[in-house]
Structure 1
């Protein structure tokens, strides 16, 4: 028996076994580390598939560890268009806060639209590693009419409160853009009581100051007398209006002749999509003066704000401000996830 050959074979088998065990142990430990450092999403607001997401939402992703770095060009918020194509929404910032990643749109979202938040793989680095997956969160900004819910259909309110609490139901007030309306009106008559002076016709100038020059693209004026529209037309933007433009405001103006002593001025502002964004009415009442100036300045506590039904119940003054400043039919109700 050749003990030397046997010993040599046993030695080779032992060395191979040790090598195999070392590789297996290293692989096992590596797998455990990967499993322990597996970055993942714990929660999101809105959640995927949400239907009545508030338009003022800042989508938030909660991970299972602290967010260290973000590749912002790999995170996109998109609006689904009617042709099934997507339009990228401009973002103001993407902010880190502990385990949360907060996506802040430049402007509010639109009502009754479909959106998708896209997060590419390796877009976010956590303390426990990169988030390796791609993730899409689809949501919609549908709403319920406040007027329908609170005035017309009490059964609908009862039904909704079976699913959501007042803390989860959010009332959205519309943004307001008309800041001031000024009317200078001269009645038909003589400027002075002079028998030689001719009678001159009535003359009216209407000035409108609007906020946010980027949102308001057109101002339309209607003159109503005894419920009927007498005149209407687009106001003209005053271009040599440097002081107001520096403050992000615009001045529009329009003139009319031969108006009656009393009438209503209805001012409507529109955005670039020709959608009505604000509306105000100022009344010119008849009096004995030949010249008359009427000016209304509008300041709001609730414009563009949102409140949960719980907040409104808890603060009756806030509830009153909301109803006083806004047409109830323009208030929207959405759901906080």
Structure 2
């Protein structure tokens, strides 16, 4: 029926056309694209909400070519009036993998002497990184500064995540230092990406220095970073450093989850005596949090690979009167070994 109305060339209000494109977009993206082209052929543009919905569905359907056809017509007919309109085009082209087209649109923004939004650069950088185009990424980074556009936290995170994935620790360190020089505060994502890579490369002292920076910045950020740091150390089998870090964390940093991660990993590899010693340290130094840590630890043991080590830990805890007879693990052991 909609096709008959459109192809019959009946006069239709813009509101009706927008509803037509928007409602069909979720069901038949090809049909919605056809209605959108009809609308543009009449010299009328879809509203922003409808265009965004259509583009999202074209991305999901991996129909970037169709999206570019629509954007090309919109650009020719003067749809983009400001940097925000151009950003919508650049971001969706990047999302659809149309990197060259997105870059060409960004160049048009400069020619029109509009100030490119940092979000446009970020969208294009994400697209380039997804396609492993690192040389163009570096070129775009230089162009961004030449245009007077300063990177934000998201810009750094895009690049740091990609360079950590590639194992380029020197590039990551330069970006990390550059953030501080420009007064851009790293977030949890920045720290965890960098620290995880350093641990994988056995650069524990450097990882510790980065973690200390998070401590001086914000206690909440440091708490999230701490969990990732301890997990990364445990995966590398470096329990000595993990224990040292946990024993030096300031009291204002929430560390319950990190203690549980460390204790669980120690148990999984059979380092039961070390786990017991660390629990004693927690009882002496973090008494207010001790029972919560114990509860979380005992609950986490259900995913342990070795019942033997769990049994050994539970028996040791029972002998130290840290676990009573009513504990589920004690009941289970009585049933299994009875």
> TM (normalized to structure 1)?
0.18
Higher relative contact order (CA 8 A, sep 6+): 1
> TM (normalized to structure 2)?
0.18
Q: Which structure's CA Rg is the greater one? A: 1
Structure with greater proportional helix content: 2
